[in-house]
Structures are given as C-alpha cells and as structure tokens.
Structure 1
C-alpha cells in the first residue's frame, strides 16, 4: 500500500502540521529513514539512496519520480481502500486505545474512550511497531497458497470425477460388446450343433422310414395273396399257403411291432443356465456390478487399534546336522496348542518338534518330501506331500514322540494347508486350475462356491489361509506381488497390491483376524485388514522370509526363512 510508510493520523486541515513519510524499502529492512521521493510507478515512498536505483537499472528509468512534497496525497491515500477511516464517523484514525485495543478517530476518543486510561496518538507509537505489516503479508501469502492448493485439489477432483465417469461409460460399452460377442458366439455354436444334430437325426429317421416303407409293401403284398387264396383257392391251396407264408407273416409282424415300440418323438430346444437372468426383470436383478463411491480419510481409530507390535523373543539358525543329507529347508510350520512348534524339512524328509524356547525336542524321519504341515488337534498333525497324492497324519505325543497314524488318498496336488473347521481343511493347490479346495479329514474333496480365476500356480508360488469368523479365503501370489481376499458368502474379492508387499509368500491369520503376510523381497511381515488396508509393515532381520505361523492365543508369532545353506527361525511376542 502506497502510504504504509507515512506517519499515520495527519490531517491536511490542521494548520502548522508537516507530513513526514518514511522510506518503504528501508522499512522492509527494519530501518526508519525519511523519504525524499515518491515513485508513482512503484507506488512507494523512497529515500535518496533507494530511489537512485532508478538511475542505474534501465528497466526503471521510465518510472516517474517526484519529490515527497509534489506527491498527490489524495491519490495515494485512496490505496488504503478506506482502511484508515472510522466505520462509524468516517474520520481518519488518529488514536489507539491500549485498554480496549481499538483504533479511534477524534470523535471516538472523546465519546467512547474518555474513561479509558491509555489513549495514545498513533503517530507517536507507529514507529515502535514490533510486528511490521510485512508479517501480515507473509501470513496472507501462506493463506493464498493454501487456498490455491485447495482450488487445485477441487479442479483435480472434478477432472478425476469426469474421467471416472468416462471410464465407467467405456467399461459398460466394452461389457456390452463382450456380451454381444458372447451371444454371437453362442448363436454360432448352437446353430452349428443344431444342424449337426438335425443331420444325424434325419439320417436315422430316413433309415427307419425306408425300412417301414419296405415292411408296408411286404405286408400289403402278403395280405393281398392271402385274401385271394382264402376267397378263391381250393383247400389244398389254402393249406399250402398257410404253411408257406406263416414264417414270413410272423417275421413281418415282429418287425412292425418293434418299429411301434421304438417310435421316438424328436424335439430340440435350447435353455439358458438358470443363473442367467434376462429382462423383463429389473436391471439390478440381471446385471452384475455396483457403482461405488469411495471417500478416503487419513487415519482410522479402529485400524490403529488393530495394529500389532512385534517384540523379538528368540532366534536360531538351522544348520545341517549329523543325520541330515543336505542343508535344511523348512517349508511348513505350525503351533501346537501347548506352545510347541512342529515343522517339516523338505530336503531331509523330516518332521521336527521345538519347545517354546526354540530348542529341538523331537524328530521323525519321513519316507517322502513334506510340503506343509497343520496342527489338527492336541496330538495330531497333517502333512501334505509332493508325490502319491496323499495327506498323512502323524501323532505327536506330549513327550515329543512322533509316529505315523493314518493316510487319506486325494486326487489333487496340494501344497499349503490350514484348518477350516474340526472336520475339514482348506488346501492350496499347485499345477491345478482351482487354486483352493476343501478336503475333509477323511479325504473327500470338493470346491468352494466361488468364482476363482482359472489360474494354475506352480509349486511354492502361492499360499493360502482361511478366516473362520468371516468365511474368507486369502491367497498370496508371489509372481503377481498380490494378495487376494475372497468373501465366500458374497462371491466377491479384494485385491491388495502395495510397494511394501513384494513377492508375498506365507500367510497366516493374526490378531483381530487381520492377515499377516511374509514378503520375500522386502524382508518383512505386512499386516492387512480384511478390507485390504495395510496396517503395518515390520522389517525382519533375516533373509528371504518364507513361512509365518501364529499361536492359538494370538500372543506369539514365528517366521521361517528359506534359503539352502541359510535357514533361520525367529519368534516374536505380539502386542
């Protein structure tokens, strides 16, 4: 503002009073210097030193400089935009009431503030301002930047909304085209199949028709002969005819009787599968899909309450021992109800038991390569194996003695395994088009009523677990860097991808039924909600974490690394 450097409160009508203006560039440097010039282009009062820059810089030489006395005060004061006028009396502010912290004109000082103890002239205190007006300018600049940021955000949101709407329209059009193509393909297939059936059926009917016509001719001919002999023949002729034609007549009658018994009515029809619903049902009944609006807020109290903290308890390195053929490679691990651990060593064909301090207390040699293990009851575990399509059950006593108890034959290649309930397992497959199946404890196999993608995982590229409380299946996909959460009740899924989750491997159900995922590349345990929100990521001091398991009371967690020659097992307390 042009007159921000002038002494405030002067009035042209007061005789004998001389105006003094301060140099505004000097004021910005916290210096008070009397102004000698006024630049109408810069709209500033300036001292001689500051105004000399107009003679140095070419770009400023066109500015109009006049002495302070020649400055048009009226035109300058208007820049205040009436800020220096009292709203009530429209007089210039001359005083400041320090008691009420208010600016006053001469009338305000007499009428409203005569009882106040400290009413001072603005002219006397203006030079003692500790917070120059430039501070207000900085605050306003910050506010302006924030407002502009809000404006940019709103414009971006509007543009994104328009883009989302366009994408929905494109998606619907593409879906319509795909459906139309599907029906066109279906029409071609049905027509071709119907023509084939028609051709085959017509050939069969033509054969029957030809035979029928021949039989009809033969019957008619025999009937005419018999009737002629019966009317006109002698007894001898009648006897000969009866003996001669009886077998032919019997054969004809049998043929025609068979034709009557084998008569078929040919119909052909086409029906949609009962799951396909078409108009005149409402659109919401026959179109699968939802239009969703999602609003994202920073922070979620419930999510914060579910975040876990891991405290290291113990750690051991697993090395080749005297009875091992090769370096150990543990591919499965689970907690027994009493806190012991049971693990399977794939390279050395072993089932091993550890106590709560991660001390080895039991071992059992297996005649096959184990893949994964799950605890079934207090003294029984189940193991998947890489050959012979079997799930084997072992008895693990309280004294850490292990023995084989039974086997159940299956027809699918299974890798990961977990309990669904007290009668069934949820098992992850490999080299199979169905990624997850259900197997009873006696070996009966069946599928979930879920539209899983027709995708086959190779061995050790996927793991699965089951959340009993919400009837959900969780599948990790190592090569896609993705975790899939399938809701069995609604046949829907949540897809989780994040930079914190690279090459997800083992998966387990953690505290508050959150999902814990071993991430191979990021060397971490990532905690995810059932809605797919990442709650926390815990960096591990180990290479290549492969498997994770959680104790029954959700108080402890064990992570197993995977690398031939470097296998590590770490135990953590969960809080």
Structure 2
C-alpha cells in the first residue's frame, strides 16, 4: 500500500500536507487513551506506531521480545495494510489467522490448524489462497451494497409510515372534535327540553304537595286539640265527664283515623328519571327525533312506602301439616334438622346434622329427594330457583348444591372461607349474612364467590359456640337480627344508622332460630317457652304463638309466600311442621 495508506491507518495523523509544517506521527496506544504522544518506533508484528514508553512492553513480555521495531520515520516509507482491529485474530485462541481450511471453508490460526484441522486434506496459507480469489472482494462489496440499499429502503419506509400514522391520528382527532361539537349541541338541546318538561311537572307536584301538607297540618291541629280535651278529662274530670268525652270524641276519632289513613294510603311519590338509549342518533335532526333516551315523569307508590303510617299486623299461625322425624334404615342417628329454607317453588330444603344429609320435601311434607354429605351440615339457604348453599359445623367452606325439578341434588362447587359459619341467609342477590362460630365478629358478610368482610357495626363483646346463636336479615330496612340463646336476648341492628335495639322479655327464653316473616316482622323460636315470638323491627313484641312441640329450634318463611316451617330438637319427639301465617 502507498505511503498515504500507512498514514490513514493512524487516526490522529493528518492526511493533508501543509507546506512548512513538519508531519507528526502519533503513538497509537496513547491515542486510544486520548493522549497526544509522538510515535518513536513502529512494530512490524504489532503493526502499529508506538512511543518510547509504550514500546517498553517488548522488553517486559517474553512473547513480544522477538518483535521487530523500526524507526517511525522509516516505517512511513514502507507499504502497510489497514488496521484490522482484531478481525484477523482467532476468536478461540487470540492468534493471527494465518491459514484457510478449504475442506471446511474456515479461517484458522496455527493452533486451530494443528488441533482442529489436522485430519483435513487441504489447509493452505492465507497469502497463497488470497491470490486465487481476487473477485471475492468485489462480490462481497456488491452484496454489502445491496444490503445497505435494502436497509435504507426500510428506513425510508418506516419514516414514511410514521409520518402517515401521525396524519391519520390527527385526522381522527379533527373528526372527534367535529363530533363533539355536534354532541354538545345535542345535549344542550336535550337540557333545554328536559328543563322545560320537568319545570311544568315540578310546578304540578309542588301544588299537590302543598295541598297535602295543608291537610296534614289541619289533622295535626284537630287531633292535638282533641288530645288536650281527653288529657284534661282524664286528669280533672269526673267519671261521668270522662265517659261523655269518650263517647263524644270516639266518633270524631274514627273520622280522623279514616281521613288520615286514606291520605296515607294515597301518598304519592313524584319520580323523574331518564333512561338513555343504547344507540344514539346524531344530529342534525329535530330534537324529537334524536333525544338519546326516554324521559319519564310519573307518580309511583313504592312497595315499601305505600303507607307512611306503618301498621305491624299481628300474625296468627294455622297448622297445615306435621310429621314426626324418626330414625329410618338409612339413618345412623335420630334426625336433627339444624337448617331449613324454602325454594322459590315451595319445596322445603332441610339439612340433617346428625346424619349428614340434605333433604327435599314437597308441600305436603313428603320427602322427595336427598343427598349424602361428607360433613356435619349446619344451615341451608336457597340462593336461586335451583341452588342452595350449606354451611359446615367444623369445616372452613360453603357448599353450593343444584336441586333439579325432579329433586336430584348434586354438589357443583365449594367456596373456601377463613371463618367457620353456622346460620346463613341472603343479604341480597350477591351476598350472604352468616353467623360465625367462636369468633369475636358474631355476624359477617360473604359473597357468592367466597369473599368475606365485616359489618360496620360495633357488636357486644361476645363469641358464640354452635347452637348458641342465629342470624337473619331484613333487606327492605337493612336490619340485621341476632339471637343470643343463653342471654335470652334478641338484638336488632340497623346497618344504615349503626344503631341497635336490645329485646329482652319473659316471653323470650333461649331464642334460637330466627327468620323474617310477613310485613318484615321478626319470627323467633323461643326454645324455653315452646313458642314462636313475633317482634316488629323496632323491637316491640307483637304476639306469641304456643307450639305443640318442645324446644323449637329452626324456623323459616319464604319470600312472598304465606307459609312457615318449624322444627325442634326434643329427643325422641322431633317434628317438622308447616303453618299458614295470617294477619
């Protein structure tokens, strides 16, 4: 290679000769360390210029002692190859690649030739074969240039694609902005339309409410006046005067009651709602065409609020049928039903704690189906038309069973839980209210998927063993009921207000099972008085019904059906009975 080739191999050397300036050759090892040092020698073996300091390595290391060093200025006049930068070194042995194996088409160093290619037939020196393949360089160059061209095309394509993507995205946002304007106009028109309609409706409702309020205020004033007369007569009047007052005001009181009750029954609640259509019609269209929903303005009488003056009817029970629970050939022990509930179609589901059974009864208390469990069941609740959930006395789980129309029962899934549960009822369509066993949280909430959480209620410091407590829940008023058998107490917790009512009475002895009865009253099994006690949700005892069975333990009433089931735990005289509640 010419002298310029040698100079080009030195990165820090100038390729342009400047008259009057002496050309300087720099030490290549120093240049790699960003040092500007003048080269003194050139190593023919290392193929690089070195300063005096860097060249001392040739006297230090034995493998470099035979390297030939020449003056740096003399090396400039000799042809030299370009810096291979390690390409000509063997990756395995770090030696120069001096040979080429034609059999395996592979470059190799001296060690490779001896160790790996000693059995090959044609291993030749690189200079020898290099002279035979002059065209290889041009072929390689053409291939590399082709690769470079295609890679460049890829770069241009990606740049073009990126630019087009940005344009497409910008176009979308322009369209969104246009659509937003149309939508805003539509909702501005909708707001004007709803405002106009609701203003008219509100004025009508306000007028009716004012009349109703005036009537109510008049009733309050009239009744207050009559009460004052009655109180005065009772305190200061003679028996004759009291009698006259009672007779005179009795008719008036009946008229007051009739008028007020009539007003209560006809109290209307004005509701306004707006249900959006699933598909919106975009403007420009008349408002009558593209209102995105249906505006409803109406009066309703909610089921739970038809009458402001709530009347708690006293429930009477009429027996429908009764059966004795006897040990049969399939039973290991005398049956003990610790859980009862009705399916929506009227079939009764029971769990037998002593014989590990789930049983189905028809409306005549004829057993029509059964399923053998592998554990001691504690309570059962109907989840849907064909599904029940069962708690276990000693296992951390809730089992879900399918009950077919033909009374076939199958276990289809189990939810693992972290707490042992006894009594169970539905809180809503997705959650249970469950009574715990030996836990400081006597009642908890469990979802259908097994997620557990606590009520935001401050309970008394109490833990209940099996059979010492039961719970129920009134959905309409968000009240949770808890019985305490050994304290002879029924607790009524208002979940919404976090308040409670404690019910203790001589009519309640060892309360056990509890359920929600007609008109959301509370029906409690009083084990110690052999009766069912009816309690209103405010804690007032409404009635007591004496049963012809000893130690009633479990009771249930289906939602929306006039029937009640009760069973007991009397040894040798266990029964299951159905009643029709009337009020």
Coarse TM-score class (shorter-chain normalised): 0.3 to 0.5
Q: If the length of structure 1 is used for normalisation, what is the TM-score?
A: 0.48
